[in-house]
Each structure stands twice: as C-alpha cells, then as structure tokens.
C-alpha cells in the first residue's frame, strides 16, 4: 500500500517532468548542505565561531524538495535553522561560512551570525532568531506580493516548537482573513529544543490540523520522500498562485544533532538508538541516492563524486572564512540606520549614536 | 495661516502621503470603516478605499509583523496602534524585526515602516492604557522615535516619517488631538532629528518633548509674569536621533536646565539628556540639572490625582525657582 502511494507521488506530473539532471541536482544540494554543516561543526569545535549553530542535518530533503518548485516571484523565509534554505536559495558556502566566523566577507558582514543569513536578491529573507517571530514577516511578504498584484507566494518555514507561539496563530488568522498567498511549512523534527512533541503540543492528529480552525487547507508529508513533498508543496503553491489562499503543510523530519551544537543535553532527551535508527533507515540523502541508483540515472561512483565535490567546496569555504578579515570597529555603526549610511537631502540630522 | 487641530494635521499628512506614493498603506484596528478610534484617519477609507486603508483584527503582533514583512518588499505601511500601550504585545516584532533586520542583514534589507498612535497618560484610563514607551524604544539602535507637541510639528514630522527609510515610532497624544495650531496650507516637511526652540529665553532652559512642551510654555509664562525670569523652552521633537546641538546651545546660553517629561523618571528620556548635559556642558552649568517626570508609580485612575501625577506648570515653576 505504502509502495503504491510512493509510486503515485513519483508518477505525479510535477515529478514526471523532472529531468535526470534535476534529480541529481537534488542530491547534490543535499550533499552540499550536509558537508557544509559538517565543516562548520568542525570549525565550531575548533573555536572559529561563537554562539549557536543550529544544524539542519537530517532535514536537508525538506528545503531541497520544497524550494525546488519556486519561480521568480516566490519567496522564502525561515527561522534560525537556516543553513539549508540559504544554500538551496542560492547563497554561496563562502559567504555563509564567513558569516558564521563573524567575518567582514560574511553575507551580513559578520553582523548577523549563523541564525541570520539573508539574500533578498535571491528572494531569501532570513534567517530569524526568535521562535515564530518570522511567521508574520512571511505573511507580510505575501501581503506585499498581493498588494503589488504579483502572482507569487511566500514559503514560511517554522519548527514544531513554533506552533505554540501566539504570533503564529495571529498570522494564520490574518492569512485566511486577508486571503494571502503564504505557505506555512512546519518542519516537525519531533523536538522543540529538548522537549518532545508529546510534552509541548496539544493536538488531535497533526499540528497542521490547527489550520482548520482558521479555515486554511492543510496537509502533511513525509520528509524522507522528495516526490511526496513536491506534490504537496506544488498543490499549496497552486492554491497561492491561483486563489491567493494560504496553506499549512506539516513535514515529518528529524534532526541528528541537538537543538544547537551548544545543546548540552542533546543525547539525554532521546535515546542514542533513536538517532541511530533514523540515520540508518530514514536518512534523506541515503534514501534519495538509492532511489536514483534504482531509477538507473546515477551510479554509486557518480554519487561519491558529488559527495567529494561538496566536501571540497565546503573546505574552500572554510578556508575563505578563516582567511577573511574581521569587520572593523567602525563597522559596528554602519547598517544601523539607512539615513546614516545613505543620507537623503541634507540629512542626517541630530545624533544617532550615544557613545 | 489656518488654525487646524493636531488630529486634522495628522489626517492631512496621511492623506497627502497616500496621494503621493501608491506604496503607502494605512493599517490598524478601526482605521478604515470606523474612521479611527480617535478619528485620526477619518474619511481616508472613503477617499482611498480598502486597498490603501485597511482594518485589522485586534492582533497587534500579527499585523505589526505583517507590516514589517511588507515593508521589506518596499511597501510603506503606516500602522496605527490604538494606544502605544498595546505595543507591549508586539515588542518582538518592533524591536527584534523592525529594529534589527537592517543590521542583521548587513544593510541588505530596509524597513520603511511608521508605527503611530497615542502614548500618553492623563485620560483616566488606568495604568495599562497610559504608557509612554519612547524611552524603551529609543533604547533600540535602529529605531527612530518622534514625539510631536503641536499640529504643525505633527504634520511635518509625519510626512518625513512616511518618507523615511528607517522604522519610525511616532508618538501622539490624545489630549492634543483636539487642540489647534496654525498650520500652513502649502506642503512642508520637518526633518527628524531637529529640535525646536518654542520660546526664546535667557535665564533658564526648560527642555521637554510631547505634551510636556506645552506645560513648559505655560510655566515660562508664569515665570516671566510673576517672577521676572526669562525661560527658554526647547522642544526635542525627536528623541532618536536627538538634536544635541540645539539643547546644548540653550544650556550654554541660560546656564540652567529643567528637564520635563510625562515619561516615568527611572531610565526616562531625561536621564539621557541630563547625562549628556553634564558630560558636554558641565562647565556651563550654574546649578544642578533638575528633572520633572510623571510621579513614579503606575498611572493612577482617580481623575483628580492623575492630574497631579503628570508634570504641571506649577511643579515646573517651583523646580525652576529652586535653581534661579
């Protein structure tokens, strides 16, 4: 039964039209995220960066599958576990790694850190550190698209821990009330920091089912299955494009590391066996690679070569970050006010900084 | 020059900017069909329609955040908070998102939003509706904060705020909405960050913002008439950026300063002003800097007592006399 369902996703029009190159590109993107993060973790442990580092490892297929469907007027915004989305949206490993290192060559000139990667030129709006704080921003992006009469949508990602924040519910209400083309993708990895789903959220079948209360269509997908995610995301995108209506899509996934790498209890709130089980039987890279081999469009050797390229690219990024300069003390005061950086008329007037 | 109310001045500023720039959109509770809880947006929905003037549910965190998101794509939302006291349920959106997104993106993202509404006590609505958060918000680099005291300033600053590429927190006052001032018919803008000497004087500087400026003007009249003291009244107009030069020039002229605000004293705006004066004009002072703020307790409901809680002309006069 499950196999039949799985086949039907693979046979769906949106997947049948994929070229072998596109399918291989999905694998390449997942390898790039994984090797980038492994390299960043190594650098973190070597003391090359500060603060948190929220690894996406185990969830790579979600960003790859969902973002693969976006067109030139579709936008992306996410929370702090943002490395995968950033790379899939087209950010370079080097600028991201340099941002982690706090370097002037970073995507935010070292002012944001790993939780705050932005590339508005690639319609990627971050990278936001406060749980669910990005959910009304995604709504606002959808609002702006509708206001300007642009046929597009915004994919707004959140974790399972974000669904209990009030502002997410306010966003759902506004999305439905104002009929905005926003798609909330709940990446349900089972844990909000160290608190399991069962201990954090009250629900009947699915978290996404809460959308019913706001008259918003919802669905769920298996994060291991790129074909399934593409089918279900495409339905949401069509709803946004054709009807300017929101969707909530919940995707079951799993993270291998702790909440962040600073998560001291990463191996205490779940068993090592649980993590091993996922790595062995549910790893999205391994599963996609096997599928491509089974479909006869990729050999193991070719997959290894893709992996090797990703590792090499990550190493180059790490060296670039390491060799880049830090921002200067004067840089602390740029990018605070537009008026100071790019004065209009005879401005700026008055004192902006009180040191 | 025609006399118009502070409310009408704001209404005119909003209408002129809606007409000028199609990306300007007004959002908030009751701003459209109800014509505004305090009638600041009266007639704008009828004139500009539902796309430009948008009613929202009572959902500040949601619609402020939505407006911040829309501003990142070039929309210029002017968001009304029925009271600035309600900003407390959307602080994350204002401070973390509007206030920090430009910096955290390394200057890649602008947030040209105006958040406006009344921030004042003195209307017998109890502590939860009487907050004056200009000090909190001015504490966030990335935000601008303005507090106009007159209709003229309200109009010119509102137009400047809407054209500003940074997030501007615009604090009005319900007690001023019905007051009238002369406002020219021709278009003008008041740059944010420029203070205004509302009354020239030589003996003492009364430095204030918002409605406290009017309290100081009344006190200055009493000081002149009854005590022969010439008080200068400096209206900050903008809290951040702050026109240090104008207020320091006044202190250098009069050598005495009383700082007056309707904010609470602890970490209030005037704590910053006092620090600034002692740091940059200490040798010019002939007397210690004095401060008058709202009495330091939650806003009391009881109408006669609430009047005493806010700075009065009499308290300003007494404080001025103590150092003259």
Give the DSSP per-residue string, A197-245.
HHHH---SS-GGGGGGGGT--EEEEETT-HHHHHHHHHHHHHIIIII--
| pLDDT tens profile A78-89 | 999 999 999 999
Instruction: Report the residue of A102, A144, A326 to disrupt the B interface, i.e. the one with the largest count of B CBs within 10 Å.
Output: A144
User: What CA–CA distance (Å, rounded) separates A201 from A345?
Assistant: 52
Q: Each residue's pLDDT tens digit in chain B (324 positions)?
A: 999 999 999 999 999 999 999 999 999 999 999 999 999 999 999 999 999 999 999 999 999 999 999 999 999 999 999 999 999 999 999 999 999 999 999 999 999 999 999 999 999 999 999 999 999 999 999 999 999 999 999 999 999 999 999 999 999 999 999 999 999 999 999 999 999 999 999 999 999 999 999 999 999 999 999 999 999 999 999 999 999 999 999 999 999 999 999 999 999 999 999 999 999 999 999 999 999 999 999 999 999 999 999 999 999 999 999 999
Tell me which H or E stretch contains A318. helix A300-323
Chain A residue closest to B92 (CA)? A133
| pLDDT tens profile B274-288 | 999 999 999 999 999
CB contact under 8 A, A351 and B244: yes
Number of CB pairs, chain A paired with chain B, less than 8 A apart: 189
Single out the residue of B108, B110, B114 nearest to residue B80, CA to CA: B114
For residue A267, pLDDT over 90 is answered with no
Chain B residue closest to A154 (CA)? B69
Q: Scan for tokens 């749980």, then name that residue.
A: A131
- Residue A335: list chain B partners with CB under 8 A: 102-103, 105-107
User: What CA–CA distance (Å, rounded) separates B225 from B208?
Assistant: 21
User: What CA–CA distance (Å, rounded) separates A172 from B66?
Assistant: 11
User: What CA–CA distance (Å, rounded) separates A323 from A303?
Assistant: 30
Asked if B19 is an interface residue toward chain A (Cβ–Cβ < 8 A), one would say no
For residue A262, pLDDT over 90 is answered with no
User: What CA–CA distance (Å, rounded) separates B144 from B125?
Assistant: 27
Q: Scan for tokens 């479909």, then name that residue.
A: A295
User: Which residues have a Cβ under 8 Å from the Cβ of B320 and sit 6 or more positions away?
Assistant: B204, B206, B219, B223, B229, B231, B256, B258, B290
User: What CA–CA distance (Å, rounded) separates B102 from A333?
Assistant: 12
Phi-psi region of A145 (alpha: psi -120 to 50; beta: other; left: phi over 0): alpha
Domain positions in chain A are: 2-330
User: What CA–CA distance (Å, rounded) separates A2 from A22?
Assistant: 25
User: What CA–CA distance (Å, rounded) separates B122 from B145?
Assistant: 21
Q: In Å, what is the CA distance from A72 to each residue of A30, A137, A153, A279, B83?
A: 22, 19, 10, 35, 40
Tell me if B237 sits within 8 A of B147, measured CB to CB: yes
| pLDDT tens profile A300-350 | 999 999 999 999 999 999 999 999 999 999 999 999 999 999 998 888 999
Confidence of residue A5 (pLDDT cuts 50, 70, 90): confident
Asked if B146 is an interface residue toward chain A (Cβ–Cβ < 8 A), one would say no
Give the bridge partners for B169, in sequence order.
B115, B145
CB contact under 8 A, A137 and B97: yes
Across the range A25-34, mean pLDDT stands at 98
Tell me which H or E stretch contains A38. helix A20-45
Give the minimum alpha-carbon distance from A305 to chain B in angstroms, rounded to a whole number.
34
Q: Are strands B238-240 and B144-146 parallel, antiparallel or unpaired?
A: antiparallel
- Residue B209: list chain A partners with CB under 8 A: none
What is the set of domains in chain B, with CATH numbers? 3-182 (3.40.50.970), 196-323 (3.40.50.920)
Number of H helices and E strands in chain A, helices first, is 14, 7
Chain B residue closest to A126 (CA)? B105
- Residue A147: list chain B partners with CB under 8 A: 25, 51, 70, 75
Confidence of residue A266 (pLDDT cuts 50, 70, 90): confident
The 8-class DSSP code of residue B179 comes to -
CB contact under 8 A, A126 and B74: no
Per-chain mean pLDDT for chain A: 96
pLDDT of residue A2: 61
Give the minimum alpha-carbon distance from A173 to chain B in angstroms, rounded to a whole number.
9
User: Dihedrals φ, ψ of A248, to 5°?
Assistant: -115, 125
Fold of A2-330: Rossmann fold (3.40.50)
Establish how many alpha carbons lie within 13 A of residue A11's alpha carbon, considering only the half-sphere containing its beta carbon.
6
Q: In Å, what is the CA distance from B177 to each residue of A10, A45, B6, B39, B234?
A: 64, 59, 5, 9, 21
pLDDT of residue A1: 45
């Amino acid at each position: 039964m499950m196999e039949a369902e799985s086949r039907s996703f693979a046979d769906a029009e949106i997947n049948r039209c994929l070229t072998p190159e596109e399918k291989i590109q999905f694998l390449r993107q997942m390898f790039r995220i994984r090797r980038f993060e492994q390299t960043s973790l190594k650098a973190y442990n070597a003391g090359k960066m500060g603060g948190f580092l929220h690894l996406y490892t185990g969830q790579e297929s979600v960003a790859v599958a969902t973002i693969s469907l976006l067109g030139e007027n579709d936008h992306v915004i996410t929370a702090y576990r943002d490395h995968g989305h950033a790379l899939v949206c087209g950010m370079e490993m080097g600028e991201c790694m340099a941002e982690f290192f706090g370097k002037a060559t970073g995507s935010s000139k070292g002012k944001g850190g790993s939780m705050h990667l932005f590339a508005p030129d690639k319609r990627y709006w971050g990278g936001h550190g406060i749980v669910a704080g990005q959910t009304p921003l995604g709504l606002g992006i959808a609002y702006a698209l509708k206001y300007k009469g642009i046929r597009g949508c915004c994919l707004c990602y959140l974790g399972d821990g974000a669904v209990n924040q009030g502002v997410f519910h306010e966003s759902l209400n506004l999305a439905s009330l104002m009929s905005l083309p926003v798609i909330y993708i709940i990446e349900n990895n089972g844990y909000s920091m160290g608190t399991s789903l069962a201990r954090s959220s009250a629900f009947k079948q699915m978290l996404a089912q809460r959308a019913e209360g706001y008259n918003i269509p919802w669905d769920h997908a298996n994060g291991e299955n790129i074909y399934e995610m593409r089918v279900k995301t495409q339905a949401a995108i069509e709803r946004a494009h054709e009807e300017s209506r929101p969707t909530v899509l919940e995707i079951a996934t799993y993270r291998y590391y702790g909440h962040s790498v600073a998560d001291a209890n990463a191996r205490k709130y779940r068993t090592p066996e649980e993590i091993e089980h996922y790595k062995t039987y549910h790893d999205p890279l391994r599963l996609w690679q096997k599928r491509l081999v089974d479909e006869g469009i990729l050999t193991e050797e070719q997959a290894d070569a893709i992996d090797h390229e990703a590792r090499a690219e990550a190493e180059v990024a790490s060296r670039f970050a390491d060799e880049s300069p830090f921002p200067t003390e004067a840089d602390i005061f740029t990018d605070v006010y537009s008026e100071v950086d790019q004065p209009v008329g005879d401005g700026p007037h008055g004192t902006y900084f009180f040191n | 020059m025609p006399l118009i109310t502070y409310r009408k001045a704001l209404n005119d500023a909003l209408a002129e900017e809606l007409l000028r720039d199609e990306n300007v959109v007004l959002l908030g509770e009751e701003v459209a069909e109800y014509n505004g809880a305090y009638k600041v947006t009266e007639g704008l929905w009828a004139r500009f329609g539902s796309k430009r003037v948008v009613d929202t549910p009572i959902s500040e965190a949601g619609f402020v955040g939505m407006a911040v998101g829309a501003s990142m794509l070039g929309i210029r939302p002017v968001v009304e908070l029925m009271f600035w006291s309600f900003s407390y349920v959307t602080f994350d959106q204002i401070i973390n998102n509007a206030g920090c997104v430009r910096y955290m993106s390394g200057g890649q993202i602008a947030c040209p939003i105006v958040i406006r509404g009344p921030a004042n006590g003195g209307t017998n609505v109890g502590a939860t509706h009487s907050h004056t958060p200009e000090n909190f918000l001015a504490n966030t680099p990335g935000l601008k904060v303005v507090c106009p005291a007159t209709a003229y300033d309200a109009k010119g600053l509102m137009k400047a705020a809407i054209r500003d590429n940074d997030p501007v927190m615009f604090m009005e006052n319900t007690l001023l909405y019905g007051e009238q001032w002369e406002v020219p018919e021709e278009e003008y803008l008041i740059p944010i960050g420029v203070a205004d000497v509302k009354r020239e004087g030589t003996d003492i500087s009364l430095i204030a913002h918002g409605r406290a400026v009017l309290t100081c003007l009344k006190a200055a009249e009493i000081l002149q008439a009854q005590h022969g003291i010439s008080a200068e009244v400096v209206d900050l107009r903008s809290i951040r950026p702050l026109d240090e030069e104008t207020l320091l020039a006044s202190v250098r002229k009069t050598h005495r300063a009383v700082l007056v605000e309707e904010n609470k004293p602890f970490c209030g705006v005037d704590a910053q002003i006092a620090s600034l004066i002692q740091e940059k004009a200490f040798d010019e002072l002939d007397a210690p800097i004095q401060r008058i703020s709202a009495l330091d307790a939650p806003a009391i409901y009881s109408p006669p007592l609430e009047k005493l809680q806010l700075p009065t002309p009499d308290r300003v006069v007494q404080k001025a006399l103590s150092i003259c």
